[in-house]
A and B are shown apart, each in its own frame.
Chain A
Amino acid sequence: MQPASRQPVGSRARGLSTSSFEIVGREDFSDLTYTLEVRHPLMARAARPGQFVIVMSHPEGERIPLTLADFDADAGTITLVIQAVGKSTRELQRDAQVGTTLYGIAGPLGVPSSIHPLRTVVCVGGGLGVAPVFPQARAFHENGTRVIAVLGFRSADLVFWEEKFRDVCDDLILCTDDGSAGIQGRVTDGLTLALDSYDDVDEVVAIGPPVMMGACAEVTRPRGVRTSVSLNPIMVDGTGMCGGCRVRLKDGIRFACVDGPDFDAHQVDFEDLMNRLGSYRGDETQAVQAWEQSCHRAETAASEVLVTTLPTDDGRA
């Protein structure tokens, strides 16, 4: 089902792009979080932990960056875990059903994480960051490193991939804000616990909202433990062409899409990152409002005339 606004705005060029990226699996973890499994054999082979893709769900859409949360070269698929936070991610939540295709997906992008064999590594994932930290945890596990996962969720009902992590981790510390699962506290509490329990931690990998990554950096800084974070600035092309994704490090500016997205947490200016992430807030609100109105129109229209070819999803707004 296409929202009404999308149809006529055409250029002849639309037919030129390769747009057969089929969604072959989907799972909804909660009202907000869902995973998509997309068929892309070449990418499944090329993907490495720490890399991401740029997705365009339709020709009038935004190019949105999403971390490669998993990839399976044998099955020829890649997995994205997405949180519906704004127009593009909510629209994708509604439209991206098994059997449909994405208009564009480019990747794998960014420099792969460096995964050397270490004694012990702590992989911290908070909210949005739980899925993206998985490939790194698995890669460390596969090269013989002891892996401690620290995963943070708001409450027990939002927990996902716990088993998947247990398979590749030697220890798992679950943290929830309300204590409904694991320890009650934030991932920084879990991280402190991990660092106190294991005295041979060579590296911490922290992925999640900028505030959380900044807080983790402050936990490890006094202990002198190397810490890597995966930054998520606003992006456009993802190929190093626009500079929109620039982040400030102690020694200068880098473009997260081609120089990152992994950086040394102790070098990153998180305040700058958070300021820049807010730059489109007004537009984002406008986009959501316009979208909600058009959904309304489209839904009314659909109920009147259209026969929808997609399975309906009762959980959606």
Chain B
Amino acid sequence: MPAKRTIRTIPQERTPVREQDPAERARNFTEVSLGYNETEAIREAQRCLDCADPVCIAGCPVSIDIPGFIRKVNEGDYRGAYDTIAASNLLPAVCGRVCPQENQCEGVCTVADTLEPVAIGRLERFIGDLAITQNWARPPHITPTDHRVAIVGSGPAGMACAADLAKAGCDVTVFEALHLPGGVLRYGIPDFRLPNAVIDAEIANLQQLGVTFITNTVVGRLFTIEDMVTELGFDAVFIGTGAGYPTMLGIPGDSLNGVLSANELLTRANLMHARDFPTYDTPIPLGRHVAVVGAGNTAMDAMRMCLRLGAENVHCIYRRSRDEAPARVEEVHHAEQEGVQFHWLTNPVAILDDGRGGVRGMRCVQMELGEADDSGRRRPAPVPGSEFEFACDQVVFAIGTNANPIIGQTSRLSLNRRGYLEVDQDLATSIAGVYAGGDIVTGAATVIEAMGAGRRAAAAITRYLAIRDPGRRYREGGEPVFGMPAAERNFAPLRLATVPADPLPGDEATGTTERTSAP
């Protein structure tokens, strides 16, 4: 064991991560950050002080044992590092890429008092990627309980809940409205930040745990939440439908052609592959001079996507200042490197018509920051007489989203004033056996918080099932579900979580799915 490291003895510089050259990457769709290699990871791991009071753990929404996993990286025990992370976080390859670490673990890291914080996120990604290539997330031995649980929505909240419940032996079915699973990870966050291959791998892991994904299913419309716990025979339901309903600004001109939400832009580009039009059928409006309103992660993704789609210049219009921008610091930085022009303290008041139903520009007003509001951020107010016109041919709104209304429209679940689902401290909704978490409860938040909520709900559901119905047996062959025999249903037959979907190499010989190298 080497001598205890101190702030003086550790490598002073944060290990830089290799990235694609900004000029080049701003025109391609492959991932910007190339991630650490082994040498870089070990060097960075040596910057951790292994604090007696690891404040980083408290800063992590799911309390990953951060010094614990970094210690393992130091020792070269990557598998051990993975198991340490996986005890709290099921999607390290995703979170290492998209968590706002500067507001979480890295923001409070002791090293950050004097130097740049330990690059916890990059280390997490290093381990997460290794786990995918090495297939470490192999299913543990699962003892089936024969409880059937449904998950509504396949975003990070639903994925996390599905994983924990499958491990607890439940027969888990995930219903997704779109044709592919993954939620925002799939349709929102672009490939250059989170490659589809990573999401595919995480979904495949869930399938190995026995989770069934049923896409093209809009719950509430095809069947209701109430149907699920009655006729459809699920013992519990978790709702993780997200907060995808985009806000439009409501200023003159906002229904002109060339005005769209960031969600629409990103959905067309990512989920529907419009960037490969006409190989794929979905088109995308291409602006040459694009103005994106907002400065959150969604705005950054939209701007960087527009550059890659071929926009000549892309402008960020934000009514507060850079310090208040809600995006991850790294994304703002990347956007700047790639050539996005930022207009802080600027607010649009009208979108101008080109006379042919399209956009010729935007009228904006300068803002100044006044008193702090409820959120603690200083409230922007328009500077009188500062209006000016700004030429652009496309306007993208990335100014936030609201609760998706479908579940609220079609069930008796209690909603709060803003349309989000109301839950108790166990994430239980107003219907027995129905739980909810993620953005549909909290409003737009983060991947890790959604995931944490999914796991908390899974724990609560496990308790609920055990209390309600200990050791219940599976109804083989089954009574009609939703008034129909199983064969009549138009989705894959539900099945028990005993065998992985695809037998794993090596498992065929023993016929077990026992974890072979558990620590």
Verify if B264 is at the interface (C-beta below 8 Å from A). yes
Measured CA separation A276–B358 after assembly (Å) = 9
Complex contact A239–B283 (CB within 8 A)? no
B residues in contact with A236, CB < 8 Å: 264, 267-268, 272, 282
Q: How far apart are B276's CB and chain A's nearest CB, in angstroms?
A: 7
B residues in contact with A51, CB < 8 Å: 221
Measured CA separation A242–B245 after assembly (Å) = 7
Verify if B203 is at the interface (C-beta below 8 Å from A). yes
Verify if A244 is at the interface (C-beta below 8 Å from B). yes
Interface residues of B in 191-246 (CB under 8 A from A): 196-197, 199-200, 203-204, 207, 213-218, 221-223, 244-246
Q: Return the chain B residue nearest A294 by Cβ.
A: B278
Verify if B14 is at the interface (C-beta below 8 Å from A). no
Verify if A202 is at the interface (C-beta below 8 Å from B). no
Complex contact B179–A241 (CB within 8 A)? no
Complex contact B222–A241 (CB within 8 A)? no
Secondary structure of the A contact surface, majority rule: mixed
Complex contact A275–B404 (CB within 8 A)? no
Q: How far apart are A241's CB and chain B's nearest CB, in angstroms?
A: 4
Verify if B474 is at the interface (C-beta below 8 Å from A). no
Verify if A25 is at the interface (C-beta below 8 Å from B). no
Complex contact B279–A284 (CB within 8 A)? no
Complex contact B180–A16 (CB within 8 A)? yes
A16-B213, A62-B281 known; A243 vs B179 contact (CB < 8 Å) = no
Measured CA separation A40–B484 after assembly (Å) = 12
A106-B218, A278-B357 known; A243 vs B491 contact (CB < 8 Å) = no
B residues in contact with A106, CB < 8 Å: 177-179, 216-218
How does the 8 Å CB contact mask read for A267-287 relative to B, with 1 for contact and 0 for none?
000001001101110011011
Verify if A185 is at the interface (C-beta below 8 Å from B). no
Complex contact B216–A244 (CB within 8 A)? no
Complex contact B179–A21 (CB within 8 A)? no
Which of B33-41, B84-92, B112-120, B250-258 sits within the interface?
Answer: B250-258
Complex contact B203–A41 (CB within 8 A)? no
Complex contact B404–A42 (CB within 8 A)? no
Q: Return the chain B residue nearest A57 by Cβ.
A: B281
Verify if A146 is at the interface (C-beta below 8 Å from B). no
Verify if A266 is at the interface (C-beta below 8 Å from B). no
B residues in contact with A17, CB < 8 Å: 179-180, 213, 215-216
* Interface size classification for chain B: 35 or more
How does the 8 Å CB contact mask read for A31-55 relative to B, with 1 for contact and 0 for none?
0000000011111011000010000
Verify if B11 is at the interface (C-beta below 8 Å from A). no
Give the contacting residue for A287; candidates B187, B271, B278; CB below 8 A: B278
Q: How far apart are B456's CB and chain A's nearest CB, in angstroms?
A: 25
Verify if A209 is at the interface (C-beta below 8 Å from B). no
Interface residues of A in 74-93 (CB under 8 A from B): 76, 87-88
Q: How far apart are A47's CB and chain B's nearest CB, in angstroms?
A: 9
Q: Return the chain A residue nearest B481 by Cβ.
A: A42
Q: How far apart are A250's CB and chain B's nearest CB, in angstroms?
A: 13
Complex contact A42–B257 (CB within 8 A)? no
Q: How far apart are A92's CB and chain B's nearest CB, in angstroms?
A: 11
Interface centre among B187, B213, B221, B263 (most CB of A within 10 A): B221
Complex contact B246–A243 (CB within 8 A)? yes
Verify if A143 is at the interface (C-beta below 8 Å from B). no
Complex contact B263–A258 (CB within 8 A)? no
A41-B484, A287-B283 known; A12 vs B490 contact (CB < 8 Å) = no
Verify if B489 is at the interface (C-beta below 8 Å from A). yes
Interface centre among A60, A76, A243, A275 (most CB of B within 10 A): A243
Q: How far apart are B279's CB and chain A's nearest CB, in angstroms?
A: 6
A residues in contact with B280, CB < 8 Å: 9, 60-61
Verify if A63 is at the interface (C-beta below 8 Å from B). yes
B residues in contact with A9, CB < 8 Å: 273, 276, 279-280
Verify if A18 is at the interface (C-beta below 8 Å from B). yes
Complex contact A11–B200 (CB within 8 A)? yes
B residues in contact with A87, CB < 8 Å: 281
Verify if B277 is at the interface (C-beta below 8 Å from A). yes
Complex contact A241–B216 (CB within 8 A)? no
Q: How far apart are B485's CB and chain A's nearest CB, in angstroms?
A: 10
Q: Return the chain B residue nearest A244 by Cβ.
A: B264
Complex contact B279–A60 (CB within 8 A)? yes
Complex contact B283–A284 (CB within 8 A)? yes
Complex contact B179–A103 (CB within 8 A)? yes
Complex contact B179–A42 (CB within 8 A)? no
B residues in contact with A108, CB < 8 Å: 221-222
Complex contact A46–B223 (CB within 8 A)? yes
A to B CB contacts below 8 Å, 17 in the list: A11-B196, A11-B200, A13-B196, A13-B200, A16-B203, A17-B179, A18-B216, A20-B490, A63-B179, A107-B221, A236-B282, A241-B246, A242-B268, A252-B250, A283-B284, A284-B283, A287-B278
Closest 6 CB pairs of A and B: A283-B283, A242-B264, A279-B257, A241-B244, A17-B215, A243-B261
Binding site for B on A (CB under 8 A): 5, 9, 11-13, 16-18, 20-21, 39-43, 45-46, 51, 56, 60-63, 76, 87-88, 103-109, 111, 236-244, 246, 248, 252-253, 255, 258-259, 272, 275-276, 278-280, 283-284, 286-287, 290-291
